[in-house]
Amino acid sequence: MVLDYNKYPFMVSVDEVIKRENAVDLYTLLTTDGKAIREAKNRIREIVTGKEVKRLKEYTSPQLVFFAELLILGVLNDKRTTERVLRKEKDLFMRDLEREEDADLLTVFKWLGFNVKMSSLKYHEVTRGKVQPKRLDYSLHFLEYLKAIKGSKEFPLTQRILHKGYVYMDRSTLLKLLGFNLLKRLRETVKPIPMEEVPETLVDIIMMRGGKTPPCIRAIQEKRERSREEALALAVYMANTGSSVDSIALVLEKNGEENPMEQVKRIFKEKMVIYSCQRMKELGMCVSDCGTRSPLQFYYGSADITK
């Protein structure tokens, strides 16, 4: 039986999807299909707030929603959120995989880089004084097994049966090992995306929640006199967080800007984004170690968007 890649979109490469849709890149593809971005955003929201979510296969474009989801997690760049979402997706994938035939499970393992074999080993086990026949139907070379269990204490080699260089397992253990390695692979697929590279169509993704003013911005707000760089940083931050055009212009006007409204228009036209925390440090505007990469990350609360 051939695996349904709409049930398991992680097995399809993003390049395959882009080629199939005749798109230039993923950003362009997701911009064209705005529905996938919206669905992925809502899906993440539902997962982090503890709501039940439907299977990816139930979406019109399962693979696009999946890649949009990974993209959003890269934009948020928050370990707790990413881990929660990926664990949920792994659990949903495993619900389906548990019902798949052996050959299909081996296909997924092969995709993960492990050559699991159908190889039965019969033995006897003494339980409460009774001898019971047992059988293990799956095997993996012990070197591959050591690689597969790296980072986990759940699958010690001492609790497995090793025969002629192969580790033997039952289906239950095989599925647990599959889930563990699938989660590891999903983690590897989420790559941080610098705020400066976020396309316009994805800007609202960051706006999952908000309200906290970063210490660096608060410090600038409290200053009676601001440098031109500080005033611009504050103005851009205000634009990014939804302040009115007039209030942004007033900040620039008070700082001596000759054409404040023109500057505000330029901020919006060029889609300026507040500096990263690293750049704020370089400019001497960072006043506290917040554990974030950008003042916007602090404002929108991506350190824990579930609160």
34 annotated ligand binder:
no
User: Which is nearest to 137 in space by CA: 117, 165, 166?
Assistant: 117
Q: Would you state the torsion angle of the CA atoms of residues 228, 233, 235, 236, taken in this order, to the nearest 10 degrees?
A: 140
**CB under 8 Å to 121, separation ≥6 — which residues?**
135, 136, 139, 161, 163, 168
Q: Residues with Cβ < 8 Å from 76, sequence gap 6 or more?
A: 82, 205, 206, 208, 302, 305
Instruction: Provide the 10 A C-beta neighbour count for residue 292.
Output: 19
295 annotated ligand-binding residue: no
User: What is the Cα–Cα distance from 58 to 229, expressed in whole angstroms?
Assistant: 49
Residue 33 near residue 61, CB atoms below 8 Å: yes
Tokens of 170: 């039952």
Long-range Cβ contacts of 237-243 (<8 Å, 24+ apart): 237/274, 237/295, 237/296, 239/264, 239/267, 239/268, 239/272, 240/273, 240/274, 240/296, 241/210, 241/296, 241/299
Q: Is 216 annotated among the ligand-binding residues?
A: yes
- Residue 25 DSSP label: S
Binding-site positions for [4Fe-4S] cluster? 216, 277, 286, 290
Binding-site positions? 216, 277, 286, 290
